[in-house]
Amino acid sequence: MNRHSNRDPERGSISLWVVLASFCMILIVGIAVDFSGHAAAEHQARVSAGQAARAAGQAVQLDALVRGGEVRPDPARAAAAGDAYLSQAGLSGTVSVSGTVVTVNVNSAYECVFLSIIGLRTLPVSGTASADAVRAYQGAPR
């Protein structure tokens, strides 16, 4: 009698299932890690855009302000202040002034940790925020 004849013919069949299940679990964890990292990067882009808009909104036209006129951002100084904030934060974006409102758009990319396994190296990140320049006294608009 052959000594291998008693063996189960299904022996070793679980290994393929384990390999596939492990790959799927790693992929699911990778999606969770990378998409939560992407969400955090989107939040950071919106926060940075808001802070850049705030910094740009403080660059007002001083001559009009001194004469008691309307508070208006100086477009050139506002763009420079917003760009300086973004470059210090390591981000790129655009700063635009329309009337008393300064709008900042930030564009960046999130570097994927796990999803690069399936070819996704980066995910686009963007954030937009606006700041309105107003005259205020003790925290209340005037």
Q: Could you give the CA distance from residue 30 to residue 36 in angstroms, rounded to a whole number?
A: 10
pLDDT band at 11 (very low <50, low <70, confident <90, very high): low
pLDDT in tens, 80-120: 999 999 999 999 999 999 988 999 999 999 999 888 888 88
Is 109:124 a contact under the CB 8 Å cutoff?
yes
Q: Is the pTM of this model over 0.85?
A: no
CA atoms within 13 A of residue 43's CA, in its CB half-sphere? 6
| Other C-beta atoms lying within 10 Å of the C-beta of residue 120 | 13
Longest dimension (CA), the chain: 110
Q: CB neighbours of 83 closer than 8 A, spacing ≥ 6?
A: 95
- Percent of the chain topping pLDDT 90: 52
